[in-house]
Structure 1
Amino acid sequence: MINKRECGVLLPISSLPSKYGIGCFSKSAYEFVDQLKAAGQGCWQILPLGPTSYGDSPYQSFSTFAGNPYFISLEDLIEEGVLTEEECDAVDFGIKEDDIDYEKLYKGRYQLLRKAYERSEISQNPDFVKFQQEQAHWLKDYALFMAVKDRFEGVPWSKWAEDIRLRWQNALDYYRRELYFEIEFQEYMQFKFYEQWAKLKAYANSKSIRIIGDIPIYVAMDSADAWANPWLFKLDENNQPTQVAGCPPDGFSATGQLWGNPLYNWEVHRNSGFEWWIKRLAHCFNMYDIVRIDHFRGFDEYYAIPFGDKTAERGWWEKGPGMDLFRTISWSLGEKDIIAEDLGFMTDTVKRLVDESGYPNMKVIEFAFDERDTGNASDYLPHNYPQNCVVYTGTHDNETLLGWFGDITPEERKMVRDYLGNFHDDEKGICKALIRLVMGSVANLCIIPIQDYLVLDNSARINQPSTLGKNWKWRLKEGQFSEKLQEEMLTLATRYGRRNWN
């Protein structure tokens, strides 16, 4: 349980300012930590750090344990002497300071990382050997998975040749010999990722800033997790899904949402004492101080859709593991700080699960003003908050505050002004008043996306669900997190008893 008043900022690693095309563990990340400290913040919430696949979503990763090689600092590799500044500067990463060009990133960054690996003599590094040994339970399968995927030109593992798709021993032995250096390259990138991340997290912790990590409930079908552990999921004898994840039809989508992730075989997990989940959470708590679990309601009930369906209309609800999982986590790992993402339609049984777990749940102020609601009964209105919750102006999936206020109906804008008692401010003034509202609420933890402190419009939006090609691209520009803004945030954090004094 998060049991003191704190505040923090939501900003993905990818959205940090940087020289080489995407936010990473470079000098700018350390400067951002210093800026958070100067602004009186105690938490930095990020998005999942896994290697991303088609669509670049951090919620569809090739591994739940691996890190994204894009986040490796090239500046650090230059300092090590395995790359030169001229080599890095010669690569075209795009020209927009506030945008990520993933196509150019993919073409350019891996070539540089390969050069760094070839010059590193990494096999002679005792720290690398120790990393291989300590992380063997996931690293061996992940590195082989990525090496074979590259050999097969990126096609999903479900379309690989039968021998390696079904992990026949002779095929595993063959590819481990044939792709030895490609496998070691993948392990090298993971070593550098974790080495650099550990340093950045230690620096944040030294400033009394805690890192809030984020994990999806599901893994991607095209992942090392599903390929290496097919018995943990609802797959058939050919390792094809029988059912996949999604959401049922509702007022926002007449055909529902078809996510396509393989569903867990919860009976197998329960019979193993939830061994895979214990390893997953233990890994997460080595990486983060607090973990936000996405789609928490799926642990109470999850929506199953027949594999091959084009929509979610024929799905049905099945029972999840419930408190059995979280009791086992507590027994195995001790009491940990977990945030339950319980947004969306909440049944009574989901509410009971959140209450029994003791985890703080989420409140989003953008959800509080809906003209379809009547009276003051909304759980998202601040006067209805419990202390044990985390309040946001919006999440990575929402519009920015300014974009949202411009897009809601006139009736809803009136609801906002009536609740604030504020009839004269312009839209930017209303956004600042909403930040003050949530900062002053009883919620123990308040997290604000940096875009809302900057009062930016929807051009700074991180993600628009159910769309492709325009998401996960926005970046903070150098100088935007100004000393003036830091002072304003520090004043708010102090005024509302949330300041990081340490």
Structure 2
Amino acid sequence: MGTSRCRLYCGKSACNFTTYREVEEMRKSGILMHISSLPSDYGIGTMGKEAYKFVDFLKSAKQKCWQILPIGPTSYGDSPYQSFSTNAGNPYFIDMDILREEGLLKKSDYSKLEWGKDRKNVDYETIYENRFKVLKIAFEEFKKGDLSEFYDFLQKNERWISNYALFMSIKNENDGKSWLEWEDGLRKRDSHSLWEFKSSHEDDVMFWEFVQFKFFEQWNKLKKYANDNGVSIIGDIPIYVALDSAEVWVYPDLFELDENLVPKAVAGCPPDAFSPTGQLWGNPLYNWDRHRECGFNWWIDRIKSATSLYDVVRIDHFRGFEGYYSIPYGDKTAENGQWLKGPGIELFNAVKNELGDLPIIAENLGFLTEDVHKLLRDSGFPGMKVLEFAFDPREESNYLPYTYNSNSVVYVGTHDNNTVIGWIDELDEDTLEFCKKYIDSEDDIVWKLIKTAMASVSDTAIIQMQDYLELGSEARMNIPSVLGGNWQWRMGKNDLTDKLAKKIADITCTYGRYERQ
């Protein structure tokens, strides 16, 4: 057994699985729910008391993993997969009650503001309008205290935070416009222009540094609490970065941009049965030749950062490392794109040579070729299996559980899929009948599918919180290629019951994903 799999599951650099008990402990399960979906009184989930309650629920339900989505600051469209930075944290997740307990806020600073009228959905526009007002009040109070830990934080994170804070400060000064629309000196990072701006906006730059200081202070405490209670955090990094991000602004040579810093081509997916014109993501593509010349240092640094932030890292759109879909910049659809070769195993060999074996999950979904399958095998990373993809009776499927190997992570559905109840409502009659036949059930399909995933040979099983709550399409997290209305679902304050925890725990133990007491 390779050490990469070993580290994913037990956190050690090398192990010998010699007893049944040790092998049984390989099997585990967890719940997929983003921080934004946690309950709170202030419009969106945070790293406050409800996050700690969720960890307690996971422990009670015998779950060893909490999978979340990317935690970077979101940009236009509110997608966690389109962030202003690959390194920074989302200011929305900073808990204001904790800031109050630290003496940086008064309750009245935020309790009387509007945070959205619907507790079941995030109102991003309202949060954007008010959250930074509150954080700036906290910042003014923060500056009066001891700043030694703050300056230590800046020093430890110098490789990214000064550029990010400057990026956000310039963006703020330009009414949120993309860096591509800034005046030439700032857009092209002329050293004098940058010095001049920073000198005249020192306080604003420091504000954005403060926000990150508080984010990571709260994140590290939450992660430690989870780990101390036997829960590992599975984090997520998108393969691509947003065009309007600090990384593209700072390192334009690493991306396919022309002499005017405009993308030559952008990322997406070709047309298929689900999307007749394909998916146009709009992310700039990597200049892989330049990355290769630099020894893939940018990627090594990115993955190193992610593995320090999370216990396990899921890399989104893994197939893009073998071959990626390139769409001419300016096209309105993805129909005119072409497949180009990616760096393949060369990139992951460079990462391994520098960082050793790492706890990584490969999101190997979508259009898969034999070359993609080979890349996954060569990497040694566990891939993903999704039951909602399994039951088309017209063709063979490698998503049916009898085709799995143990080095995999099984889901009923992911954040890009409908909930089980919503999925059932959309199924054609033949697919629904095959699903019922396979799971040997005419009713209670949600829980039968959960049990099917839990019973599989996959070392890890991850279930969406919405499916444990038996919710319909109204709770779907994301509809790919649809702009607006996504990433909004929130859990109710009373949804996590002892009865539900006991039911999940019983299934988990029944299928050997937790040691029976």
TM-score, length of structure 2 as denominator length: 0.94
| Residue in structure 1 matched with residue 512 of structure 2 by the alignment | 497
Deviation at residue 499 of structure 1 after TM alignment: 1.6
C-alpha deviations, 1:84-135, integer Å up to 9, x for none?
A: 1122111110232221111110111110000000111278411110111111
Does the CA contact (< 8 Å) of 1:164 and 1:171 recur in 2?
yes
Kindly provide the amino acid, as one letter, of the partner of residue 441 in structure 1. S
2:140 to 97, 118, 135: 118
Say how many residue pairs are matched. 495
Q: Aligned pair 1:201/2:194, yes or no? A: no
Deviation at residue 371 of structure 1 after TM alignment: 3.6
| Residue in structure 1 matched with residue 23 of structure 2 by the alignment | none
SS at structure 2 position matched to 1:181: helix
Q: Aligned pair 1:263/2:263, yes or no? A: no
| Residue in structure 2 matched with residue 485 of structure 1 by the alignment | 500
Kindly provide the amino acid, as one letter, of the partner of residue 96 in structure 2. L
1:36 to 55, 58, 61: 58
2:360 to 338, 348, 354: 338
Q: Which runs of 5+ in 2 are unaligned?
A: 10-25
Distance 1:241 1:95 in 2: 39
Q: Aligned pair 1:276/2:295, yes or no? A: no
Distance 1:130 1:123, change over 3 A: farther
Matches within 5 A, 1:8-19: 8-19=30-41
Question: RMSD of the TM alignment (CA)?
Answer: 1.2
| Residue in structure 2 matched with residue 445 of structure 1 by the alignment | 460
Distance 1:500 1:167 in 2: 56
Kindly provide the amino acid, as one letter, of the partner of residue 486 in structure 1. A
Kindly provide the amino acid, as one letter, of the partner of residue 432 in structure 1. W
C-alpha deviations, 1:302-353, integer Å up to 9, x for none?
A: 1111111222222211111111111111111111110100111210000000
Kindly provide the amino acid, as one letter, of the partner of residue 496 in structure 1. Y
Kindly provide the amino acid, as one letter, of the partner of residue 493 in structure 1. T
Distance 1:6 1:43 in 2: 8
Greater shift, 302-311 or 357-366, is seen at: 302-311
Deviant stretches of 4+, over 4 Å: none
Greater shift, 439-448 or 101-110, is seen at: 101-110
SS at structure 1 position matched to 2:267: strand
Greater shift, 266-275 or 121-130, is seen at: 121-130
Kindly provide the amino acid, as one letter, of the partner of residue 354 in structure 2. S
1:407 to 418, 421, 426: 426
Greater shift, 308-317 or 18-27, is seen at: 308-317
Q: Aligned pair 1:315/2:315, yes or no? A: no
Q: Which runs of 5+ in 1 are unaligned?
A: none
Kindly provide the amino acid, as one letter, of the partner of residue 201 in structure 2. L
Q: Aligned pair 1:363/2:382, yes or no? A: no
Kindly provide the amino acid, as one letter, of the partner of residue 420 in structure 1. I
Does the CA contact (< 8 Å) of 1:208 and 1:500 recur in 2?
no
Deviation at residue 263 of structure 1 after TM alignment: 0.5
Deviation at residue 475 of structure 1 after TM alignment: 0.6
Q: Aligned pair 1:388/2:407, yes or no? A: yes
Greater shift, 52-61 or 309-318, is seen at: 309-318
Kindly provide the amino acid, as one letter, of the partner of residue 488 in structure 1. K
C-alpha deviations, 1:26-84, integer Å up to 9, x for none?
A: 01100100000000000000000000011100000000000000000101100011111
SS at structure 2 position matched to 1:9: strand
SS at structure 2 position matched to 1:14: helix
| Residue in structure 2 matched with residue 75 of structure 1 by the alignment | 97
1:6 to 11, 28, 35: 28
| Residue in structure 2 matched with residue 431 of structure 1 by the alignment | 446
Distance 1:368 1:492 in 2: 22
Distance 1:458 1:175, change over 3 A: same
SS at structure 2 position matched to 1:436: helix
Share of identical aligned residues, percent? 50
C-alpha deviations, 1:279-304, integer Å up to 9, x for none?
A: 11111111100000000000000111
Distance 2:321 2:449 in 1: 32
TM-score, length of structure 1 as denominator length: 0.97
Matches within 5 A, 1:158-173: 158-173=180-195
Distance 2:251 2:515 in 1: 43
Q: Aligned pair 1:475/2:490, yes or no? A: yes
| Residue in structure 2 matched with residue 462 of structure 1 by the alignment | 477
Does the CA contact (< 8 Å) of 2:255 and 2:286 recur in 1?
yes
Kindly provide the amino acid, as one letter, of the partner of residue 105 in structure 1. I
Deviation at residue 251 of structure 1 after TM alignment: 2.2
Distance 2:424 2:172 in 1: 45
